[in-house]
Amino acid sequence: MRLILAHVRKDIAALRPLLIGWVVAAVVTAFNLTTGSVNIGAGSHSLSGGFGIFLLVLLFAILAARVIHEDALAETADVFWRTRPISRLQLLAAKGLFIGVLAAGTAGILLLTPSPASIPYRQGLTVLLGLVAFAVVTPNLTRLLALAIGMAVGVGFLIATVRIFLVTHGTGSFFFQGQPGFLAAHLDGIGQGIYWVGYLGVIFHHYLTLRWKTSFALLAITSFLPSLLPALFFAGRFGHSS
C-alpha cells in the first residue's frame, strides 16, 4: 500500500499545474452553483455556468489521460522498467486511485447543478473507461487523440457501409433475420455493457500482460461492436417497412 500511495504522490507532483487548475475550476464552479451566482440554462449566466462545468470536466479528462501516460506501458522501449520496483497490479491500483478520487470530486460538483438527475452518469462512466482504455494503449496525448479520431472515422464508415448493405439486401440478408424483442428493448443497455466489459478488459489485460497488439485489437473490437448494433436494427426495420 505504501508503494501505491508513494506512486500517487509522484503523479500529483508531476501533474501539479493541471491539478491546481482543476481545483480552482472545482471551487469556483461549486461556489457559483451553491450561492446561486450561476443558474445553469437560464438567462445570461447560462454560458458562464456551462463553461465552468465544461472546463472542470475537460481538465478531469486531460488529467485522467496524463496520469496514465506518466508511466506509459505502450510503444516504449523501457516498458519493463516502468513496473519496477512497483508491480503492474500496484501501478494499476495507483492510477485507479488517482482517477477515482478525481472522478468522485468531479461527480460531486455536478451534483450541485439545478437538475442533477438529468446528468448522464452512465454514459459519462462509459466515456471515462474508454478514455482510460485509449490512454493505456497509447504513449502520449497526441497519439490518443489521433487514435480516437481514427476510430471515430472508422466506426462511422463501417456503420454507413452496413446500413447501405442491409437496406439494399432487405431483411432476408444473412445479417438480419427478424428483430428479437429482448435485444430491441435493451439495445442501449447491451451496448453500454459491451463498452464497460471491453474497456475494463483492455485496461486489465494490458497492465497485467503488456501485450500491446492484443490490447489494441480488443480496444478496436470494443469500439466497433456496440456501434454496429443500432445500425443493424435500423437497417432491418427500414428494409422491413419498405
- Whether the per-residue pLDDT at 218 is higher than 60: the answer is yes
- pLDDT for residue 240: 43
Q: Please, what is the Cα angle at 36 between 30 and 41, to 5 degrees? A: 90
Residue 115 DSSP code: -
Pick the closest to residue 58 from 97, 15, 106 (CA basis): 106
The total of other beta-carbon atoms located within 10 Å of residue 9's CB is: 12
Residue 239 pLDDT: 42
pLDDT of 158 strictly over 50: yes
Residue 36 corresponds to which cell in the numbers above? 446561486
> Mean pLDDT over all residues of the chain?
81
CB 206 within 8 A of CB 212: yes
| The predicted structure's pLDDT at residue 26 | 93
What is the CA angle 200-206-211, rounded to 5? 140
Question: pLDDT band at 182, cuts 50/70/90?
Answer: low
Query: How many Å apart are CA 163 and CA 229, to the nearest integer?
Result: 11
The distance from CA 185 to its chain's CA centroid, rounded to whole angstroms, is 24
- pLDDT confidence of residue 119: 75
Do the beta carbons of residue 63 and residue 22 sit within 8 Å? Answer: yes
Which letter does DSSP use for residue 139 in this model? S
The pLDDT value recorded for residue 219 is 95
Any idea of the CA torsion for 147, 153, 154, 158, to the nearest 10 degrees?
160
Could you tell me the pLDDT band of residue 234, with boundaries at 50, 70 and 90?
low
Res. 232: pLDDT tops 60: yes
Is pLDDT at 136 greater than 90 in this prediction?
yes
Mean pLDDT to the nearest integer, 223-241: 63
State the first-to-last Cα distance of the chain, in angstroms, to the nearest integer: 62
What grid cell was written down for 153? 472515422
**Nearest alpha-carbon partner for 64 in 199, 219, 198, 188:** 199
HEC profile of 46-110: HHHHHHHHHHHHHHHHHHHHHHHHCCCCCCCCCCCHHHCCCCHHHHHHHHHHHHHHHHHHHHHHH
- pLDDT for position 160: 81
State the cell numbers at 57: 470536466
Least confident of 79-83, 111-115, 139-143, 178-182: 178-182
